[in-house]
């Protein structure tokens, strides 16, 4: 017996399929993957991270732009990811942009529904995009930021930060880990 397999979807087909569709979707190796609904804390963290990045850009890197989780990054012809936030540099993109082709920084906020994909698949995928120099994974539960940085050749350097400064060069941004993570939870939370 032969089982017909569905052909892998390409990014352009996926973008047409996802346009206007309810929910958040990604394409992983040609297969559409739904992203689980997130909790208030996740959204609050994204909002805070976007604000921190926006203020850092305004303080010294005016040619860059921060975008919250509304666009995708093309990894290859069968894979896209929708980061919780990203930074790209250069001229502003049109409002109807679906894909940011040359992000410099991508950010994911960990949650139980996305942790495995963020820590494994996205780490491998994002660094296949030549323009990406920094992948930040924000873990509010453990109160750390995992900073993966493109090094020389095929080297990816990793730093785990709970306090102190995150130097994101390029494009020349500096973030306080405490600002990214926000205030610690109150006792009993």
Does 65 have pLDDT greater than 80?
A: yes
pLDDT per position as a tens digit, 81-118: 999 999 999 999 999 999 999 999 999 999 888 888 89
| Cα–Cα distance for residue pair 88/171, rounded to 1 Å | 9
Band (pLDDT 50/70/90 cuts) for residue 189 is: low
As a residue count, the chain comes to: 189
Predicted pLDDT at 23: 83
Residue 160: predicted pLDDT: 97
Give the pLDDT of residue 2: 44
Token look-up 């303080």 returns 59
- Tell me the per-residue pLDDT of 11-63, one tens digit each, with 9 for 90 and over: 999 999 998 888 888 999 999 998 877 788 889 999 999 999 999 999 987 79
Domains parsed from the chain with CATH numbers: 11-181 (3.90.1570.10)
pTM across the whole model: 0.91
Can you read off the two tokens belonging to residue 113?
């529904």
Sheet holding 156-161, edge to edge: 64-68, 85-89, 103-109, 134-139, 144-150, 156-161
């Amino acid at each position: 017996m032969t089982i017909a397999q569905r052909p892998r979807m390409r990014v352009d087909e996926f973008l047409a399929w996802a346009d206007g569709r309810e929910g958040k979707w990604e394409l992983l190796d040609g297969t559409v993957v739904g992203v689980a609904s997130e909790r208030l804390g996740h959204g609050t963290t994204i909002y805070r991270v976007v604000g921190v990045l926006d203020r850092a850009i305004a303080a010294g890197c005016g040619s860059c732009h921060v975008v919250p989780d509304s666009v995708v990054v093309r990894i290859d012809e069968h894979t896209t990811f929708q980061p919780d936030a990203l930074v790209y540099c250069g001229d502003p993109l049109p409002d109807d942009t679906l894909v940011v082709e040359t992000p410099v920084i991508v950010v994911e906020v960990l949650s139980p529904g996305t942790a495995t994909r963020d820590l494994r698949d996205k780490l491998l995928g994002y660094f296949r995009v030549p323009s990406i120099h920094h992948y930040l994974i924000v873990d509010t539960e453990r109160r750390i930021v995992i900073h993966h940085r493109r090094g020389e050749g095929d080297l990816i350097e990793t730093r785990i930060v709970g306090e102190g400064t995150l130097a994101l060069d390029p494009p020349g941004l500096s973030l306080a880990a405490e600002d990214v993570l926000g205030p610690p939870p109150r006792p009993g939370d």
